Structure 1
Amino acid sequence: MPGQEAIPYDRISRELAEVLVKDQGPRDTLNALAAKYGANADTVTRYWAYLNKTDSFNTRRVSRIIEQYGWPDQRLISPEASKALWLVIQHADSLTREQYLPVLE
């Protein structure tokens, strides 16, 4: 459409691929800590606080993309980007999950 900016799917894919790493990397660390010290260890409990902050940051990044461009067409973004969208929304707070549930179904 005239006057409408093209959606930068390549840039969105790159940004979401970065988000995927920031979502999954800490979870790998959490799993390793839980395996080493036990799921109820203080170290694991403290790490959950860090993970919750990371999830909040990732949720804001993903929400900003969705607010600006809508839910990206899965055929036009990378598989990693698509996975990041799904995982970040899954790890988000309950209000955010409810907001995007219709899109995920």
Structure 2
Amino acid sequence: MHTVDFRPIADSVDDSYVERLSGLSKLSDLYLSGCGVTHRAIKSLLEHDSLQTVDLQDTTVNDTALELLTQLDQLKLLVLTGTNVSTEAVQLARKKMINTRIIKL
């Protein structure tokens, strides 16, 4: 399993960085807090079916991104604090993602 943490270089990370992870098999944890990622980057994560942790704190992701993330069956922790994801979308996602802890403060 692999962990990728972009937090130390968050100011320079955008969707293209996440899209380049496509060749990385067995990605388990991805930390994107403070990065300039959008739902486009999230769409590219769907091929990583072993993802267990995704930290999107302080990004501009929205309800569209959360809807995409509901397709990741192995996800255990999803951090959405400081994003553009609505409370309503989080409530709906929690019903679909019963084994995932979703943090949205």
TM-score by length of 2: 0.30
Q: Which has the higher strand share?
A: 2
TM-score by length of 1: 0.30
User: Which structure has the bigger radius of gyration?
Assistant: 1
